[in-house]
Every structure is written in C-alpha cells, then in structure tokens.
Amino acid sequence: MTRLSPETLALLPADVARPAYDRAAMRAGVVHFGPGAFHRAHQAAAFDTLLAHDPRWGITGVSLHSQGVAQALNPQGGLYTLALLDAQTRYRVIGSVSHVLTGTEPPAILAALAHADTRLISATVTEKGYCLGADGQLDPEHPAIAADLAKGREDGWVPQSFVGWLVQGLAARRRAGLPGVTVLSCDNLTDNGRKLEAATLALARELDGDTAAWMADHVRFPNAMVDSITPATDDALRAQVQVATGLEDAWPIQREGFTQWVIEDRFAGERPALDLAGVTFAADVRPFEMAKLRLLNGAHSTLAYVGLGLGHETVAEAMRDAPLAAFVEQLMRDDIAPAVVAPPGLDLPGYIADVLARFANPAIRHLLSQIAWDGSQKLPYRLLGTVREALEAGRPIDRLAVPIAAWLRFLEKAAHEGRTITDPLAEELLGRAADWRAVLAMPAVFGPLGHDARFIAAVGQAHEALAQGRLPG
C-alpha cells in the first residue's frame, strides 16, 4: 500500500481535503510541545487553515518523552489524516506540521526555540506536564524540576521538564537578541497561561535572573480555552482512513466536528490571524475556561468513573444509560452551573444541552478508560473547585461527591485486582486505595478540602450509595 507523503498527496480522492497552500514555501513560526492527537486534531488544523493565507505559521513539533509521533509523521513529511466524525465522516489531510523533533535531539530543539522565524511556542503537555503542586505553583520537589534546578546553571544542560525547556529556549533568544515570543498553553488547566507564566518565571529566577527580567518585556503567556472531543486512534480508524484515502497513514487521528479555541488577546509581537480559522480572541478567557472545564470536563470525568463502575465502555454508551445520563444532566444544571460565571452571551442551559448532545454522538467511540487517566491531575480543575465553592456558598454537595467517590472506587478496584492505572501518582494512590479516607488525605490532590468534615461525610455517603448500586438523586 502506498504511504501518505508530499509525493503521494496528488493521489488522494477528490473528496479528501488537503493543504490549500504550497508546503515548500511554509516557514516554522510555531514550536509546539506535545504534538499528540489533541494538538494535531485541534490547533494544527487551525494553523492548516491559516497557512492558506500566511505561509509563516508552520509547526515544528517537539515530543520530549516519546518517539512514536516523530517515527510516524517524519517519513510522511509531517502529513497526516484527520477524520471528522459527524453523521457523515469527512477526511482532511493536514499539512501544518513540517517536522517532529524528539527529546533525543536537544540541540535541534534549542535551535527551533531560538530561531528568528519562531513567534509562538505552544503546548499540550497535559496537566502533569506543568509539574505544579496542589497550590498551582511550580513544585520544586517534582523530580524533573529538581533535576533542572540542580543542572540548570551548567553550560549545555539538557532540561528534563517542559518548563525547563522554556527557560532554556527563552535564555537563548535573549542572548541572540531575538524579538519576544508568545508562549501559549492549550491544556485543560484553569488559568493555564498565568500558571505557566508563574512556573516559568519561578524556574528562571532560580537559574537565570537576566532571562527572568527579560521575560517581563519580551514574553507573553495568554490564557486559552481549547475544546474538541478527540478519541485516541484505534485500528478501526486506521482501516477506515486507508479505505477513504487509498493511502497508508501511520498515525491518522479523529475528532468530533465541533471545535472551539478562545485565546486571550495578549501576544508578544505579532498575533497569528487565527480568527481566519474560527478562533476567538477575547480580553478575558477565564469565563470560557470555567464553563468548559467545570461543565464539559467535570461531566466527562463523572461519566468516566461512574460509567466504568457500571460496566460501560464508551461515553456514548454511558449516555444511553438513562439514569446515568439523567444524573449527569442534573449534576451539570443544579450543582455545577451555579458555580460557573458564564462568558458574556453564553446561555448556560443551552451550553449544557449542546455538551450532552456531543457526548451522545453515536459516531464517536470515546473510551471512558481514556478519560479516566490522570484523575489526580484532572479532578482538582474539573470538580474540586466547584465543591469548594458550593461549600463556601452553603449549597449541597451530595451529587458532586458522587464522581469523587466513583474515582475512589475505581482506584480501590484496580488495587484489589492488582492492576496499575495511568496516573503520575499511581503508586501512592493504589497504595492507599483500600481506605478511601487515606486517599482524601493526600494534600497533592485534595489540599485542605480533604480534611473538611462535610466533604468527607458526603464522599462517604456517595461511596456507600455506589457500593449498593444507587445513584443519589
């Protein structure tokens, strides 16, 4: 079977969309850390649209901890197929990624960061990639940060953390007299840009005071809200893509048709005209972030842990379980929405209905087990803020305690069966899992909330209800 590549693009059937620009003229204006499925389905597709108007915004991907994306994409000249899953699946070959570097090539990463063409450094490194503590600040005891603190004053050090790479890249730009740069977090963290800014500044102050000072005038870290449901690639997708395109693609990806990207209008130097690709620039992104993280991601994690406990496999399947779907809807409307300050013009009941319809999309096979990854990193942003505010406002937390209890049961079950889980805190979580109170007492996840008697009581009740197969109404 012929493989997708710049040479074989012309063989694609007419109904498969392809880059509407000359890829040979493309320059790399973006260095992106974490070119996984979400980035390639979402941001890289927006840049692919922009490139038809402006060739300066190609992407160099940087995959620090794995070789897989580089091995799949580089032989294809960076090209890959995106399947858009709606009633009718559409296929689009994306050309915005020119090359993917890996952590085995530190000089090339540094050269890309400190290149005159680079105007934007962006990231989807997931919550754990930021190395933050429960207080949202850089955690100096995180092994990667501790290593960077130990080595970062030596010449030619190789950073272990993403934040370390930013400090090294910014230092190289400063020394080379290059103009400023925008650093854009595209991860599901509240206040993602500000958190990354604080973390980068904290490390820079320790390692290189001149770069820390230079950042104030030359670097901006806008907040951003990103949204598009992106199930992991499976064999079924590979097969479908091969049939639809007639070419072999080592790593096609898929997402729902819906996509949203809201970026704070706070750039260092030039702002890419991403509005041409449907991106919204806003003075304040926080209300968008809050609505999306608390409602969509909070409900997603609820479906994942409660749904897995009930034996479901995918989000759409969990949504066909009428009592579970009704529970999640009530949780969103009655418990989460009161803790959301809606962005201007957003109708929360309508937003909730749209999110539920997206979850129910039968064309998407989104595994609950994928969403269940990294619970210790996700729950604080998705649910615990809502719980804290409900307690402060004197609202009930009975239903909000259900996904937390479902997560605790998920851990308990894995520990009992001797399975591991995907979570940076897996070892400690599983070590404590037999006693859910011991998990609540982990400061890295729950902070002071874990010692709140009302919270402990509500989680205890929810835990009991789930053990009896009941969903508290």
Nearer to ligand CS2 by C-beta: 207 or 277?
277
Contact of 132 with 202, CB cutoff 8 Å: no
Nearer to ligand CS2 by C-beta: 89 or 370?
370
Distances (CA, A) of 466 to 333, 373, 414: 21, 21, 16
Instruction: By CB under 6 A, name the one of 168, 297, 314, 386 that touches ligand CS2.
Output: 297
Backbone angles phi, psi at 150, to 5 degrees: -75, -35
Contact of 89 with 361, CB cutoff 8 Å: no
Residue with tokens 């893509």: 241
Q: How far apart are CB 372 and ligand CS2 at their closest, in Å?
A: 8
- 188 touching ligand CS2, by CB under 6 A: yes
- 384 touching ligand CS2, by CB under 6 A: no
Q: How far apart are CB 317 and ligand CS2 at their closest, in Å?
A: 16
Would you tell me how many other CB atoms lie within 10 Å of the CB of residue 250?
16
Nearer to ligand CS2 by C-beta: 330 or 370?
370
- 397 touching ligand CS2, by CB under 6 A: no
- Relative to beta strand 224-227, strand 260-264 is antiparallel
Could you tell me which of 341, 35, 64 has the C-alpha nearest to residue 186? 35
Distances (CA, A) of 53 to 115, 116, 272, 275: 22, 20, 11, 11
Nearer to ligand CS2 by C-beta: 16 or 408?
408
User: Going by C-beta distance under 8 Å and a sequence separation of 6 or more, which residues neighbour residue 108?
Assistant: 101
Q: How far apart are CA 187 and CA 34, in angstroms?
A: 10
- 46 touching ligand CS2, by CB under 6 A: no
Burial string for 295-305 (b: 16+ CB within 10 Å, else e) reads bbbbbbbbbbb
Q: How far apart are CB 381 and ligand CS2 at their closest, in Å?
A: 10
**How remote is the C-alpha of 31 from its chain's centroid?**
17
Q: How far apart are CA 56 and CA 101, in angstroms?
A: 19
- In DSSP terms, 132 is beta-bridged to 138
- 399 touching ligand CS2, by CB under 6 A: no
- 187 touching ligand CS2, by CB under 6 A: no
Scanning residues 348 to 377, which ones bind ligand CS2 (CB under 6 A)? 370-371
- 332 touching ligand CS2, by CB under 6 A: no
- 423 touching ligand CS2, by CB under 6 A: no
Nearer to ligand CS2 by C-beta: 18 or 366?
366
Nearer to ligand CS2 by C-beta: 274 or 299?
299
Nearer to ligand CS2 by C-beta: 359 or 455?
359
Nearer to ligand CS2 by C-beta: 76 or 297?
297
Q: Where are the alpha helices (DSSP H) in 117-234?
A: 143-151, 162-176, 192-207, 209-218
DSSP 24: G
Residue number, nearest CB to ligand CS2: 300
Local structure of 255: helix, strand or coil: strand
Nearer to ligand CS2 by C-beta: 208 or 227?
227
Q: How far apart are CA 417 and CA 402, in angstroms?
A: 22
Instruction: By CB under 6 A, name the one of 39, 300, 365, 388 that touches ligand CS2.
Output: 300
Q: How far apart are CB 382 and ligand CS2 at their closest, in Å?
A: 8
Contact of 223 with 191, CB cutoff 8 Å: yes
| Total residues found in the chain within this entry | 473
Local structure of 4: helix, strand or coil: coil
Q: How far apart are CB 229 and ligand CS2 at their closest, in Å?
A: 4
Q: How far apart are CB 358 and ligand CS2 at their closest, in Å?
A: 9
Scanning residues 220 to 279, which ones bind ligand CS2 (CB under 6 A)? 227-229
Could you tell me which of 446, 414, 443, 409 has the C-alpha nearest to residue 427? 414
Q: How far apart are CB 336 and ligand CS2 at their closest, in Å?
A: 14
Nearer to ligand CS2 by C-beta: 82 or 212?
82
Number of residues that bind ligand CS2 (CB under 6 A): 9
- 340 touching ligand CS2, by CB under 6 A: no
Q: How far apart are CB 40 and ligand CS2 at their closest, in Å?
A: 14
- 200 touching ligand CS2, by CB under 6 A: no
Q: How far apart are CB 385 and ligand CS2 at their closest, in Å?
A: 16
Residues that bind ligand CS2 (CB under 6 A): 188, 227-229, 297, 300, 370-371, 378
